Amino acid sequence: MAKICMTHGWHDDNKGDSAILMGTIDFLDQLIDAEQGRSDVSGAGVAKAEGHRIDILPIDDQVFATERGPFRHIRRRYRERVTVGQPLMPPMRDKLRFVTSLLGLGAKMMFGKQGKSGNDIIDAADLVVVKGGHIFHNGSFKKTLSSWLALIGYLAPVMLARKAGKRVLLLGHSFGPFKTPAQERFFLRTLSDCLVVSREEITHAMTQKADPKLPHALLGTDMAFAMAPRASDEHAAVKAPNGVASPYAVITLRDWWGLDQQAFAERVEVLSRSLLESRERLGIERLLVVPHVLGPTDIENDQRISQLVFDHLQKALATAGGEDLATRVELVQGDPSPDALVDLYRDAQFLVGTRFHSVIFALMSGTPVYALSYCGPKAPGIMRDFGLGDSVQDIENFDPARIVADIEQLVADKAFPALAEKVIAEKLAITADITRDFLRRAPGRAGVWGQRELKLNDAAFPAPVATATTAAPVNSAPADAAAADTMAADAPAGDNSATAAHDSEPVVRGA
């Protein structure tokens, strides 16, 4: 059983980050054989806690200061084989602790072991994995000094792991924007002997421009796609009110720095009315507003903006279309697990997602999806992988009429579920091959990678067999950096307890 340290963990209130952690654990469980025999993430192996030992280091101790416990869904899913340590760096708002930890980081880098518990976890690990997502960025800082300190704080676990001579994997990341070009160069050079797997072309293009060029920087996918979903009945009453199945669509909303909430609510109102007026063509009867993320910070909590928009919709739709139209919009409550949200989105006719991992959950199930982009390259970049590069608009000025017209075409495309499943399988196969190749390489400059050999599973994540119904996606992502630069120019600037039912029962990913 390998000991894996996963850094930069974030709170389970953010269902996307939770799914990234779950997907990464499921991915490594399949890729690296356990000593007791191959770990079976699809059933009994995980249920008996026979996978690898996982130590999670949070990125910020703010995750502990919330009403709901952090990593609760992670702990429930993987039981006793997951432990959570203390973050290596406190938040910058706690200036004294941050400076003290920064000095300690410098001492560790210069003189060796510092003795802090988080360092001990890294020192004892067979493998250090930096949780994917959009972690590494500091372009929103107003002062250059603050942006440097934030960047060093983000990189602290990577620097310590490299100092200890550990294998370091960055799986499924988006980078930038950075405050200055010097910070971008410093960041990329810090990753010089790590495996860096980008989840979209724009970030990959950045790694290819590194000087010196990163030797192990390749294009993979978002690790939430590797999550093996479990069966759930948390939303059974929502999907079938009064025991009768009722076709529905989903919309996920989020707040954003500087977002005009009233103008946003009005655009969502126009969109919702248009969708419901087209419900016969779209095959729906209801529109569910789902708070995809519950925190832990205020700006990350979708409940407030969802409630605000829902109240606005109730009044506006009742005035415009009578009580019947207003009652067709429902606000979903609760603290669902990522598995439960995948299950809810799987049975939707389509999804309009502001929260990007709600888009990923829909893609995992072959559900037609439209994305409202709010942060960097992740939405336009990954949507292009599925031939959906035109099905993305900016959160602040989207055109509702364009969304409705596009969704009608997506719903009519019966080949999309199989195509989405093929794209995901191909991306995971590429990511698995990249990771296996890196783990088999000779030790890095620290020279101690070989302290524990990891037995790899070559059969995990095989590439799909091409068929007539699973052809390559149209309008797929460009492979060259110039095309990625064009995408970057168009991308928006900016940045980042219910019990799960049938917790150990597997379900098959797909339509």
Which of 381, 357, 414, 470 shows the shortest CA–CA distance to 16?
Answer: 357
Measured from the Cβ of residue 232, the count of other Cβ atoms closer than 10 Å reads 23
What H or E segment, with its residue span, contains residue 319? helix 302-327
* Position 380, amino acid: P
- Specify whether the CB–CB gap between 381 and 487 falls below 8 A: yes
Tokens 């390559």, residue located: 472
Query: How far apart are alpha carbons 67 and 295 in whole angstroms?
Result: 10
- Specify whether the CB–CB gap between 378 and 174 falls below 8 A: yes
Which of 495, 357, 306 shows the shortest CA–CA distance to 15?
Answer: 357
Query: How far apart are alpha carbons 18 and 68 in whole angstroms?
Result: 14
- Specify whether the CB–CB gap between 127 and 167 falls below 8 A: yes
Assess whether the previous peptide bond of 296 is cis (omega < 30° from 0).
yes
Query: How far apart are alpha carbons 439 and 444 in whole angstroms?
Result: 11
Which of 223, 326, 308, 328 shows the shortest CA–CA distance to 266?
Answer: 308
Which residues contact residue 447 at a Cβ distance below 8 angstroms, ignoring those fewer than 6 apart? 165
Query: How far apart are alpha carbons 96 and 213 in whole angstroms?
Result: 37
Query: How far apart are alpha carbons 97 and 94 in whole angstroms?
Result: 6
Chain Cα centroid distance, residue 246: 29
What H or E segment, with its residue span, contains residue 372? strand 369-373
- Specify whether the CB–CB gap between 133 and 174 falls below 8 A: yes
Which residues contact residue 415 at a Cβ distance below 8 angstroms, ignoring those fewer than 6 apart? 469
Neighbouring C-alpha atoms within 13 Å toward the C-beta of 323: 0
Angle among Cα 435, 438, 444 to the nearest 5 degrees reads 145
Chain Cα centroid distance, residue 19: 6
Per-residue pLDDT, 62: 64
- Specify whether the CB–CB gap between 56 and 84 falls below 8 A: yes
Which of 221, 277, 204, 279 shows the shortest CA–CA distance to 248?
Answer: 279
Per-residue pLDDT, 479: 39
Question: What separation in angstroms does the CA of 406 have from each of 145, 319, 374, 412, 417?
Answer: 45, 27, 19, 10, 16
Sequence-ordered strand ranges (E) for 177-237:
195-198, 217-219
Which of 251, 236, 322, 237 shows the shortest CA–CA distance to 284?
Answer: 251
Adjacent-strand bridge partners of 3: 53
Query: How far apart are alpha carbons 350 and 363 in whole angstroms?
Result: 10
* Position 220, amino acid: G
| Cα dihedral 281/283/284/290 (nearest 10) | -100
- Collapse the DSSP code of 450 into the 3-class scheme (helix H, G, I; strand E, B; otherwise coil) and give the result: helix
Class of residue 455 by CB neighbours under 10 A (exposed 0-12, middle 13-18, buried 19+): exposed
Structure tokens at 26: 């499921």
Sequence-ordered strand ranges (E) for 308-460:
329-331, 351-353, 369-373, 392-394
Which residues contact residue 244 at a Cβ distance below 8 angstroms, ignoring those fewer than 6 apart? none
Question: What separation in angstroms does the CA of 229 have from each of 224, 333, 422, 507?
Answer: 10, 21, 17, 6
Query: How far apart are alpha carbons 398 and 379 in whole angstroms?
Result: 14
- Specify whether the CB–CB gap between 371 and 235 falls below 8 A: no
Main-chain phi, psi angles of 84, to 5 degrees: -120, 125
Sign of CA dihedral 100, 101, 106, 108: positive
- Specify whether the CB–CB gap between 275 and 287 falls below 8 A: yes
Per-residue pLDDT, 45: 44
Per-residue pLDDT, 5: 94
pLDDT means per 10 residues, the chain with 511 residues, are: 91 94 96 63 47 87 70 90 83 72 73 56 91 90 90 90 90 93 95 93 91 91 95 94 94 91 94 94 96 90 95 89 84 96 97 94 95 81 88 91 94 93 95 93 53 84 68 40 41 34 31 24
- Specify whether the CB–CB gap between 290 and 391 falls below 8 A: no
Structure tokens at 164: 């200890």
